[in-house]
Amino acid sequence: MKTQIQEIIDFEKVDNLLEGFYKTTGFLTAILDLDGNVLSKSGWRKICTDFHRVNPDTASNCRISDTVLANKMAEGENFHYYQCLNGMVDVAVPIVIKGEHIANLFTGQFFFETPDISFFEKQAQKYGFNKKSYLEALKNVPVVSKEEVQVAMDFLLDVTKLISEMTLQRQEQIELNIALKESEERFKALHNASFGGIVIHDKGIIMECNQGLSEMTGYVYDELIGMDGLLLIAPESRDLVMKKILSGYEKPYEAVGLRKNVERYPLRLEARNVPYKGKIVRTVEFRDITEQKKSEEKLIHFHNLMHYIIEHDRSAVAVHDKNLNYVYVSQSYLDQYNVKEHDIIGKHHYEVFPEIPEKWREVHRRALKGEVLSADADPFLRADGHIDWTRWECRPWYEADGTIGGIIIYTEVINERIKQEHEIKKLNKKLEILVDELELRVHERTQQLEAANKELETFTYSVSHDLKAPLRGIDGYSKLLLDIYGNQLNDEAKHFIATIRNSTLQMNQLIEDLLQYSRLERSQVKKERVLLKPVVEMLLDMNKTDLDEHGFKIETNIPDIEIICDPSGLQIALRNLIANAIKFSKKSDNPTININFKEDEKNWFISVTDNGVGFDMKYSKRIFEIFQRLHRAEDYPGTGIGLAMVAKAMNRMGGKVSARGELNKGAKFILELPKTEQ
């Protein structure tokens, strides 16, 4: 309460009252809180206002004296005399509100007997007061008797009672106002916290509404107040609403609402007749049920859809309650078991089918305890002795409160499926026998082919090696003829001998390539660390004459990197790709060869790109087969073995080669080598 004293005491009235008391009796007054703070004063002596309350030390004496005097009030006295530390007499009366001592009413700054002048002279000297002015102020301090003070205190006691009563009334009014404000705010908060619109109307005219109604209808608050509430209802529902108003109907009902933008929406209304501002009015809750209606429509649609699915599914569906009485059956169920719906709905499952064995009854008992049971193929003995193979599932269904409401049984006759499975098993058995026979034949044929390939490789190597000797003789004697008899031969003879030599060289190259191809088949792969950049530089240097003669531009980005591969296989692959690029780009304008390198986590990639004649991508795999040519030998001489050797060399290292090309725009060949443990 200490922090509220200035709010609960009407100091304007109190100041007027105490000022009149001072002018009538000459007794000054003051109201101080329990910490010595001055809240009100009248008629204070100059010695206090100009000296004691100004100087820090004497002002401190004043606060100490006031506090000591205030504490005396706590001992239960009606009033108490006290000589302050600055030499004068003060008297205090407690101000008590609802039993709580909140402040003190003081009078004083007088003497009961003539003061000791020497005390005040010393005080003037001690605190640095102007002695003459200080003693002059002292003369104005009255000397009064205790009887006079008693009379004054009797009046001041009445004054404190009056202050207490006034303060109590003011406090109660403040508390009432606070409670009223809190009540209004609470009402307003509850009013606007509604999930719908709230309206208070008198004979249809809106007196009050909440923010929810404004948000729902699109009207602002000021537009709604004074409006005819029926304007918030669509025309087709206004007669209904008016009848409910006139009859005092107080249960929920549905109507069609109308927003400011003329949009209609489903609405639920619920009203009460209540007293408000001295009259009986009607309070109405507006609730937009658009989402509820959508949910209901979805539920109906879902129900219809599920009904359609069940009725058109091959499974027979039966729904039982927890007592195993039939609740629902699908048409498939009726057809499968040759029963009528009106004959079984509401009846016990075992009454309809008394022959159900204990095995199935146990399934039903377990499902009613929450288990889901099923079988993919189960024999079912019908009443006529026929066995049906069925696929079934039995599971519980649950009420809204989570309790088991009963069981659902799905069954499907799968006789045809079982028959097909038996046929498939027979066919699989026959197929297994055929596969075993085929694998045996493939194995035998593979062994025969491997033996034939080995013989072919040996034959190719031997024949190729044996052919090189006579070819050297043909080439040597042809050259000797030109050297010895060249001057005696005419041009036609020279041309014939040159053709013989060129043919010999081509045959020799073919034999060399065949030998190389054969060696690739027979040699063992040896993987080593290989510095890639020197290999590329060496192969380019081997072709330097041809490159310079035709003005090739060479671009490379090979880093100083080691890769793990078969060195001879890598050289064979790169040598043939570079030779190919030179051969098919010689006739190009500004012939260019680009050799690049890149890698990822698993592989190294080396590409050779040219801007030569290129090829159609439909031949991208064929060009790696032996003796396959896309161009005439007269235009681009070659053996048709080079790219086959590239493919074989890469396969032996666990890598691969691929090609991309476009006619008359060039080709790109990419070697892909797998990274191995390093």
Written in H, E and C, the secondary structure of 132-187 is: HHHHHHHHCCCECCHHHHHHHHHHHHHHHHHHHHHHHHHHHHHHHHHHHHHHHHHH
* Distance (Å, whole) CA 656 – CA 255: 77
DSSP code, position 67: H
DSSP code, position 47: I
Q: Measuring CA to CA, which residue among 234, 396, 391 is closest to residue 315?
A: 391
pLDDT of residue 237: 94
pLDDT of residue 623: 82
CB atoms within 10 A of CB 514: 20
Burial class (CB in 10 A: 0-12, 13-18, 19+), 165: exposed
* Distance (Å, whole) CA 451 – CA 467: 24
DSSP code, position 319: E
3-class SS of residue 407 = strand
Within the chain, which residues score under 70 in pLDDT?
1-8, 65-79, 175-195, 298-314, 381-385, 435, 439, 442-443, 445-469, 471-473, 475, 477, 486, 494, 501-523, 627-629, 631-635, 637-640, 677-678
Report yes or no: 51 and 129 within 8 Å, Cβ to Cβ.
Answer: yes
pLDDT of residue 638: 65
> Which residues does 315 contact at the CB level (< 8 Å), separation at least 6?
330, 332, 410, 411, 412
Report yes or no: 574 and 582 within 8 Å, Cβ to Cβ.
Answer: no
3-class SS of residue 583 = helix
Q: Which residue has the tokens 């304008």?
A: 589
Q: Measuring CA to CA, which residue among 580, 553, 575, 586 is closest to residue 668?
A: 580
605, β-bridge pairs: 598, 672
CA 295, 301, 304, 306 torsion-angle sign: negative
Report yes or no: 164 and 95 within 8 Å, Cβ to Cβ.
Answer: yes
User: Which tokens is 569 given?
Assistant: 């296989």
Report yes or no: 581 and 613 within 8 Å, Cβ to Cβ.
Answer: no
* Distance (Å, whole) CA 46 – CA 197: 68
Residue type, 247: S
Q: Measuring CA to CA, which residue among 503, 432, 512 is closest to residue 465?
A: 512
pLDDT of residue 535: 92
* Distance (Å, whole) CA 87 – CA 98: 35
pLDDT of residue 469: 64
* Distance (Å, whole) CA 495 – CA 473: 19
The pTM assigned to this predicted structure is 0.33
Give the CA distances from residue 388 to residues 336, 413, 419, 676, in Å, rounded to whole numbers and listed in that order: 11, 6, 11, 61
pLDDT of residue 2: 42
Question: What does the pLDDT look like over 626-672, one tens digit per residue?
Answer: 766 676 666 676 666 778 888 888 888 889 999 998 888 899 999 99
The tally of CA atoms less than 13 A away on the side-chain side of residue 198 is 15
Q: Which residue has the tokens 């406090």?
A: 171
CB atoms within 10 A of CB 321: 15
* Distance (Å, whole) CA 266 – CA 256: 5
Q: Measuring CA to CA, which residue among 525, 569, 564 is closest to residue 676?
A: 564
Q: What is the dihedral of CA 610, 611, 612, 615, to 10 degrees?
A: 80
Report yes or no: 671 and 607 within 8 Å, Cβ to Cβ.
Answer: yes
* Distance (Å, whole) CA 617 – CA 623: 10
Q: What is the dihedral of CA 605, 608, 614, 615, to 10 degrees?
A: -30
* Distance (Å, whole) CA 315 – CA 336: 9
* Distance (Å, whole) CA 36 – CA 388: 104
Question: What does the pLDDT look like over 540-575, one tens digit per residue?
Answer: 998 888 899 889 999 999 998 899 898 888 988 998
3-class SS of residue 568 = helix
Burial class (CB in 10 A: 0-12, 13-18, 19+), 524: exposed
How big is the chain by its Cα radius of gyration, in Å?
A: 59
Burial class (CB in 10 A: 0-12, 13-18, 19+), 134: buried
CB atoms within 10 A of CB 393: 16
Give the CA distances from residue 471 to residues 187, 327, 387, 464, 609, in Å, rounded to whole numbers and listed in that order: 117, 100, 86, 11, 35
Report yes or no: 16 and 24 within 8 Å, Cβ to Cβ.
Answer: no
pLDDT of residue 593: 94
Phi, psi for 186 (deg, rounded to 5): -65, -45
* Distance (Å, whole) CA 269 – CA 201: 14
Phi, psi for 43 (deg, rounded to 5): 70, 30
With b meaning 16 or more CB within 10 Å and e meaning fewer, what string describes 424-453? eeeeeeeeeeeeeeeeeeeeeeeeeeeeee
Cα of 315 vs its chain's centroid, Å: 41
* Distance (Å, whole) CA 393 – CA 373: 6
Pairs from 11-16 (Cβ < 8 Å, separation ≥ 24): 11/39, 11/40, 13/166, 14/40, 14/163, 14/166, 15/40, 15/42
With b meaning 16 or more CB within 10 Å and e meaning fewer, what string describes 624-640? bebeeeeeeeeebebbb
